[in-house]
Every structure is written in C-alpha cells, then in structure tokens.
Chain A
C-alpha cells in the first residue's frame, strides 16, 4: 500500500516537471521567425499581409516564418508594452498615433531612414509624427482622415435636404448639423450625430469637432494647455448645448450605432465603410462640417515600426521595407490610405474601395490628408489622456459650468505638459 502511495506522489511530481519543461525556445542560429502585432483581425487584411509575407519568404529563404499577431484594439498599446516588459516583444508592431510620441522618443524603435524604398514619395505631413531629428522611426502605413457618414434615408424621412446638397450650397456647417440632428431626434427618437468611439471617455476623438473652432488640446510644442483657451471654450460650449439642450448628440450612457441604423450621422474613418456592405438604408460620405473657423480636416494615423530589441532587428527592418515598398503599398491602400503621394489619387483608392465613389474619396480622403491635423498626441499620452478624461467628466452633466471644468482640466495636466 505504502509503495503505491509513494508511486502516486512521484507520478504527480513527474507530470508537473514535464509540464514545466515544455516550450523551449529554438536556438538563435536557426531560421529567422518574425512576429508583427496588429490590431486588425479582419480576414481580408490578414490574408493580404500573409500574401506579402509569402512573397518575401520566397526571396529570403532564411526567413522561415512571419506571423501576424492580432491584439484587440481597445487594449492594443497596453498589451504591446506588457509583452515588451515581459521580454516577449514582437519584431514589428503597429503603433497608434496617440502612443507615437512615447514610442518614437523612447529609443525602442529602429531608425528606418534610408531603408524605406522611394522615401521621397512619402507625404511630409504623414511622416511628421513618426520623425525625430530627421530620422524616421515608423512608416505611416495608414493615414486616414475623419469624415461624416450620413443616413440619407433618415434625412429624407425628416424632410431635410440631403447633406450632399448642403455641402454643395455651402450649408454643411456645425450649426446646421446640430439643427438636423435635433430635428431627427425629435421626430424619430433616433440619435442625431454620433462622434464614433468617443463614448464620453475617448475624448481625443472630439478633435474632429473642436478643430472647427481652431481649438487644440495643447500647443504645437506640447507645453501649453489649450483646453481653457477661447476656441476650446467656444467649441465645448457648442458641444454641451448640442448634447443637453438640442439633443442632437446622444447623451452620456446612451449608445447608438450608426451602422445598425440607430443614428443619422457619425464621424469616423473610411475604413468603417465595410460595415455598410449590407446596410438597409441609403447612405453617403461627406467631409467634416465647416466650423466658425472654416473648413478643416482631422487625421487618424497608424505607423509600423521595427523594435530595436528584437532578436532579428535587421531582418525585421528589411521586411518592413519590403512590406511598404511602392508595389505593396498600393495593395495595402485597399484598406489603409497610403502615405505615398503618387498613390493618393481618388481613382487609385476607388479601385480598392468599391463601396465608396471617387468624389467621396476625393473630398474626404485626398483633400483631408493634404490639409488635415493629426489627433492630439504627447509624450506620456496615456497618463494625460486619463487626467483629461477625469477632468472632463463633470462637463457631461446638463448644468455644467463649461469654463470652470476646462480650467480644471488644464490645472490637472499643466504640470505634466510643462515637463
């Protein structure tokens, strides 16, 4: 009996030991395996990436595997930095515009200057965020302006003239957008305008509104808070009235999905057009409305960088150059507006965006990229974003004192901005 008990204990221990010894890393000298973290899990995107990778492997026999590792968008940067902290960072990574300053200035990324094919073709405004002291640290593979998707079925039902006509007649202004949103909300109970992904938390998406007043979160050099300056106070006062008095925007704690037919308008990027494939309503894509300070455009960006600490940083940078060369950039343009000037034509984009018409692409994408301002970003963005979110929370109440709230935002972030 005792022997059997002893044997059982030993067996348990052995099983544990075997389990602990699994998963050894292959030796460094073997064939090269690369991993790229991305935030898309769209099958068509991943297939395109894999096709490009297959072509690269064919001409580079030492590279045995290139893996695309999708991480959910909501926690992308957190997951990526946690992987890096755990010594398990990828070889290449997509980087969101809001964490660009942190990554670009940290020294985590390999210098890509001189490695990108025909780099003179890159639009300077697209590359600006990813460049420090003339060195390019990430390739801006997606430069996507914000536009307004409109549900024209709802506009017609509410007896309003179509947004396309309003654009043509110079009436596509924020004042008229709020009027239209309020009318539709009053008549149908559906939401008017939704700033997509804002949800009273991700405030940087509001840049697509406040730029119409010439407002900015902080100054160009990042040192001075812009929240309590007049353009921002005016923009936020307008927004507050639009939410709580006119009810043209759904209030806090209310969700309305444009793509499910729950709102008349939404501000977002063109990549979302794919959600309209089976739409049960007619729709249009128009530029952002004109604000008191005139026409404007706002851009969301994503960069692709090679991590310096990776085991095969050189191979990674080489693959990055291949992935983004003019030929592959043209293929990627199907989903991600390219930074290469020669490829930025409405006809070119229309070929790969069958849901959108050339004139929509011209007005929103091509014109947007040439004049657009990138969403706010700063070193230490996550901490700033959190402080601003907490500071703005009191604004999202019907009786808020806009100026006082915005003063509070500035006092909570100015020390960090000045660093």
Chain B
C-alpha cells in the first residue's frame, strides 16, 4: 500500500511527536499552566474564605519589597542552602572515593549509605525529631561518652544545623551513587601513568579525579542547590520555622503566608521570587561550567 502523504519521513516525525506527547502534555498541565497561574495570582488579592478575587496589580510586589520578615527568611534560606550543598557534596564525594576501592564490605557500606534515600521523607524526619529531643537518642549517645548535648531543636543555631544534617544524611547516598558511577568511568591507566610520574594520592585526586568527574559535580551541585531551596517537610516537621524565625526558609514562609494565613496572592508572589532565584542560580551554574567542567561534549 502506497500513501503519498504518509511518507516514511512524516511517519517518523509523527511517531516522535506521539512519543514525547505524554511527557509534553504532563509538563503543560502540571508545570507550565500552574506556573502561569502563579504569576496571575501574584497580581491579585485572593480571600479564600470570603470568596473574593481582586486584581491589585503590583501591590503584592510592593509588599514583597517592604516585607520586614523577608531579610531573615532569605538569610535562613541562604544558610540552609550553603550548609547543605557544602556538606552534602563533600561528604558524598568522600564516601564515593572511599567506597570506590576494592575492599571487603564496600557493597554493604554502599547499601547502608544509600538506604535512607528510599525511606519516606516524613517518616525519616519524624524519627529524627524524636532523636533530637532534649532527652532523645542523640543526647543519650553523647551522654554515654561523657558529653552534654544541647537542646538541638530549641536553639537557633543548633536547630539550623540539625535540619541541615538530617537532610544531608537522608540524601547523601544519592549523590554518592552518582559520584561512584562517575569515578568508575575514570580510566585506570591515567592513575598508573600518574603513579609512574611520581604523583601522590592527593595530587592524583586533584589533577585526575576532580577534572574527570567534573560534569557529575556540576550535575549534583545543580540538583542539590535546587533541592535545598525547596526544603519543606523537614522544617514543617522538626521546627515549624522556629525557634523564633531562625529556620523559616522561603518555601516554609510561602506555605505559611498562603495556606496558614490565607494570603494566597502574596504566597504566589513569594513563589515567583523562589522561581526567579532558582532560575538565576541554575543559569549561573550552567554558565560557570565552561570555566571548570572538563571534556564536556
């Protein structure tokens, strides 16, 4: 059967479009439309209980510029992200390098470090909430070795540290696996050559390992930065933004404004801000790759 319209080229194209269609429809319905709506809502005052929805133009953005709490919220967000990214990436890389050696038991250790990744986030956080209580497991352990632990979730600094560490321990396994995969792709002969040339272990790590896995470092850092800006469950379960407002990060503040205080319009404005921050950081990281990412194809 010969069809003049459905040439093999057109059929190929159609098949391609049909294959991407489910993903495309999903993205439109669940990403682009909500994104557009967020911008639209941010120009309105929406009183859910009274059922009013009024156009207020840039009022919410004025409020954003003059919000006395925004400074502390952005500081908390920055501290959380910086702490998380630094700790997560360095720990993940360290674990990956250690577990990349052909030693007994590495498989067991890889499993142990990866297993928190598949645990439910909320269950994980609730259990840590118990462990971090004043009379909880962490302080019990510290007492066993003669140290007197602080009341972790009630001090401003210790609460922030706790939230960061709980998140790092939860997710470090994922980055570790990505690094492991990258490490195993580094050709062994490079190390042999370096050893012959007299390079020590640190030198090999700096001059061979890091450049060779730099695309993975870029990928993990983007994922981790974006993820850190979206932290919510840990804050909601462990600290509810406290003590004071020390752990009120942007997403939690947005949730409070929209869903607890019923300022949906202002909440939408805050999510526009979050979107802008994530976008800028991602673009910056992407641009910087040219400077330090090795052998990108």
Contact = CB atoms under 8 A, between A and B. Distances in A.
A84 B261 CA distance: 14
A78 B152 contact: no
Contacts of A106: 47, 49-50
Contact of B154 (A2, A253, A382): A253
B240 A201 contact: yes
Contacts of B48: 81, 84-85
Interface string A236-273: 00000000000000011111000000000000000000
Interface stretch (A3-11, A38-46, A295-303, A312-320): A3-11
A393 B262 contact: no
Contacts of A255: 133
A2 B19 CA distance: 13
B153 interface: yes
A102 interface: yes
B259 A81 contact: yes
A354 interface: no
A182 B21 CA distance: 68
A42 to B, nearest CB: 22
A389 B256 CA distance: 13
Contacts of B151: 251-253
Contacts of A396: 154, 243
B22 A107 contact: no
Nearest to A11: B18
Interface stretch (B6-14, B106-114, B120-128): B6-14
A110 to B, nearest CB: 13
A355 interface: no
Interface string B36-65: 000000000011111100000000000000
A93 B220 CA distance: 46
A108 B52 CA distance: 10
A9 B15 contact: yes
A352 interface: no
B242 A2 contact: no
A351 B288 CA distance: 75
Interface in A373-393: 380, 382-383, 386, 389-390, 393
A394 B50 CA distance: 36
B260 interface: yes
A396 B242 CA distance: 12
B264 interface: yes
B262 A382 contact: yes
B244 interface: yes
Contact of A6 (B15, B132, B260, B262): B15
Contacts of B8: 2
Interface of B: 8, 11-12, 14-15, 18-19, 21-22, 25, 46-51, 132-136, 151-154, 240-245, 256, 259-262, 264
26 contacts: A2-B8, A2-B11, A6-B11, A9-B21, A10-B18, A81-B262, A82-B259, A85-B264, A102-B49, A201-B240, A251-B151, A252-B134, A253-B132, A253-B136, A253-B152, A254-B135, A380-B261, A382-B256, A382-B260, A382-B262, A386-B256, A389-B240, A390-B241, A393-B243, A396-B243, A397-B154
Given A6-B18, A252-B151, 4 more contacts: A103-B49, A201-B242, A253-B133, A309-B51
Interface of A: 2, 5-6, 9-10, 12-13, 16, 78, 81-82, 84-85, 102-103, 106-108, 200-201, 251-255, 309, 380, 382-383, 386, 389-390, 393-394, 396-397
